Structure 1
Amino acid sequence: MNSMLSINEWFLTFMPAGAAGIAEMISIAVIYLTIFAVLGLFLVLMERKVAAWFQLRIGPNRVGYLGLFQTVADALKLVSKELTGTVKADKFLYNLAPYFVIITALMALAVLPFAQGLQAFDINIGLFFLIGISSVGVIGILLGGWSSNNKFALIGAMRSGVQTISYELSVGLSLLTMVILTGSLQLSEIIEVQRNGWLIVQGHIPAVIAFMIYMIAGTAETNRAPFDMVEAESELGAGFHTEYSGMKFAYFFLAEFINMFIIAAIGTTVFFGGWLSPFGITESIPVLGVFWFLAKAFVLVFLMMWFRWTFPRLRVDQLLTLEWKYLLPINLVNLVLMAIVVWLNLIIQF
């Protein structure tokens, strides 16, 4: 039973079915918006602390204890800033673009299993849904860059289209490799398969290769360094959101960090057992499941931050060469290898 059904049953105890349905949707929306905001603020603070650690600096240390409320202060500053834009911008598309990236990130969060039964929707095509919805977010970037009527924003948006479309292939194929092993697209079933061991172990060498390709391609898909050609501050000002300010800029900024968490969360679910304890203990308390899920996800988030502060930015030609000449062929061969591994396991069991 998922969390949505549980909340619905609770509302039905003291209100009619129609009112319970509306109250259920509102409460779920409020919960996920709260998770979105708190998670975004924490990830921004984590990024700044990790960057300071890598560069032997102190990092945020003024607002609150050890600077813990620095991102809250930054958010309040962004809320209070004036919303500016270019005179010749396409106003409708310019204002619509930030909501594309926010809504797609929220929709992706809704199917992630934070613990047993703790997810808004446990659909049987969960992994396919995540791959599909992640490709919609690029529309917001393309609209924002084009509607701004700024050449730097347009170049950044065009780069984003090329980059996202290219690296989505590797993300999808690496996850498809694991689907061959599990035989299911439903995230809860993928986790259940891992009760006897994480898929990265069960899948042997092809699973390790799939995970490595997934992390590289996932980092590129979220437009993070060393694949941040979309923003490329030293070349394009601020890239596709050059003409955005205040909360509209914050939407793009926040969505980037949430998408980074989503990539880490999918990796946690598919490769590392999701909310399952690494010690083989069955979690009957949802809080423990949430702890293990977040702990694994934040380790992968840290890995993506490590990439940013270690490797220099790639050129556009290097970016596309890496995908089309290396990652994609390796992925296709690895897909066949996983199929052979599954086939041999079936023969042995038979």
Structure 2
Amino acid sequence: MTEFFQSIGMSYEWAWFTASLAGILLIALPLMLAVAMIIYADRKIWAAMALRRGPNVVGPFGLLQSFADGLKVFLQETIIPSASNRGLFLIAPIITFTVALLAWAVVPFGADVVLSDINVGLLYILAISSLGVYGVVISGWASNSKYPFYSAMRAAAQMISYEVSIGFVLISVVLWAGTFNMSGIVEAQKGHVFGINAFGLNPLLFPIAVIFLISALAETARAPFDLTEAESELVAGYQTEYSSMSFALFWLGEYANVLLMATLNAILFWGGYLPPVDWAPLYAVPGIIWLFAKILLFFFIFSWVKATVPRYRYDQLMRLGWKVFLPISLFWVFLVSGYLMLTRYG
């Protein structure tokens, strides 16, 4: 894209800046639209599983319901508690929303279709996703209210517990792919198991694919791990004191993170932008179509779990993270590395 802008008379510096800005907008704007639509899809899936109709009034089939909700919160008054830390209270939702967008910079939507194809893309995503909890913790503390503060403490403990397991899972994937580059990880899955483009069907990697999916639910505080927003205990958790656009930014950031985790599941274990089978005619379909189809499948699984699985108790959440997932994921690092040493480098 930089070359295109140079061809119309721009200097290299301005061409690079314009190309980068265009790339950011090409990701951010469709992502915002996608967030609005998956909120609608989320509510429709829950309604169908509870034998209800869901949104069906605003726009055809209720498609404009998310936009109506966004307009409603935009027109509300922003209320800041008098005893809160005003600066931190206002910046917390901005952190959550911004961090949710930053990770998409290294997501490959197709072969060579990525904003920043850096060699350590997976480490970048792990670092960025870890920063998301700061918005929650800051909002809980700055609200100067006991329920948001309890929620912030839960969020910090939950993030630490499941980030450790996710880290070991990613080590196994990196060992097998031989690279931290996101596009390289996708390409390493081409024809991996009986001509199927997926690490997830590898008997050694399937268990950690399941662990990653469950840990992604906990990382995004989705049911059954939504202890940070437990209405029966904490009113609404860290969002209790928020209103208007501040609340909407948390809302958008949460769903952007859900989309990111669905994307990571597709990229790391199920072929990303590659077709399901390594068969030449399937490559005629653009890679971005295959990636979106896989993202939608994983998002359906996220919604399905939220609609059907009851919330964990907090001690169950901690036990699963530290006593089940951590030992298994650590053992799997030794198992995968040992197998690779014997077969690939032996």
Q: Give TM-score, length-normalised by structure 2.
A: 0.94
**Equivalents in 2 of 1:288, 1:123: separation in Å?**
22
Give the equivalent residue in structure 1 for 2:31: 36
CA contact (8 A) 1:199 1:207 kept: no
Which among 262, 265, 280 is matched to residue 263 of structure 2? Answer: 265
**Structure 1 unpaired stretches of 5+:** 1-6
Give the equivalent residue in structure 2 for 1:242: 240
Give the equivalent residue in structure 2 for 1:11: 5
**Equivalents in 2 of 1:284, 1:313: separation in Å?**
41
**Equivalents in 1 of 2:200, 2:316: separation in Å?**
32
Which among 309, 332, 335 is matched to residue 333 of structure 2? Answer: 335
Q: Which amino acid aligns with 1:9?
A: E
CA contact (8 A) 1:125 1:186 kept: yes
Which among 35, 38, 41 is matched to residue 46 of structure 1? Answer: 41
Using the aligned pairs only, state the percent identity: 36
**Structure 2 unpaired stretches of 5+:** none
Give the equivalent residue in structure 1 for 2:117: 122
Equivalent residues in 2 for 1:174-185, closer than 5 Å: 174-185=169-180
CA contact (8 A) 2:274 2:283 kept: no
Q: Deviations over 1:128-181 (max 9, x none)?
A: 111111001101111111001111111111100000111001111112111111
- Secondary structure of 2:3's match? helix
Is 1:25 aligned to 2:24, yes or no? no
**Equivalents in 2 of 1:208, 1:237: separation in Å?**
38
**Equivalents in 1 of 2:76, 2:113: separation in Å?**
37
Deviation at 1:191, TM superposition (A): 1.0
Deviation at 1:281, TM superposition (A): 4.0
Deviation at 1:280, TM superposition (A): 1.9
**Equivalents in 2 of 1:281, 1:73: separation in Å?**
44
Is 1:112 aligned to 2:110, yes or no? no
Deviation at 1:107, TM superposition (A): 1.1
- Secondary structure of 1:205's match? coil
- Secondary structure of 1:162's match? helix
**Equivalents in 1 of 2:248, 2:142: separation in Å?**
18
Deviation at 1:284, TM superposition (A): 6.5
Is 1:200 aligned to 2:182, yes or no? no
- Give the number of aligned pairs: 340
Give the equivalent residue in structure 1 for 2:305: 307
**Equivalents in 2 of 1:201, 1:100: separation in Å?**
33
**Equivalents in 1 of 2:245, 2:80: separation in Å?**
12
**Equivalents in 2 of 1:201, 1:112: separation in Å?**
19
- Secondary structure of 2:205's match? helix
CA contact (8 A) 2:221 2:228 kept: yes
Which among 176, 190, 212 is matched to residue 210 of structure 2? Answer: 212
CA contact (8 A) 2:191 2:277 kept: no
Q: Which amino acid aligns with 1:147?
A: A
- Secondary structure of 2:290's match? helix
Is 1:61 aligned to 2:56, yes or no? yes
Is 1:141 aligned to 2:136, yes or no? yes
Is 1:76 aligned to 2:75, yes or no? no
Q: Which amino acid aligns with 1:10?
A: F
Q: Give TM-score, length-normalised by structure 1.
A: 0.93
Give the equivalent residue in structure 2 for 1:96: 91
CA contact (8 A) 2:191 2:198 kept: no
Deviation at 1:324, TM superposition (A): 0.7
**Equivalents in 2 of 1:207, 1:188: separation in Å?**
19
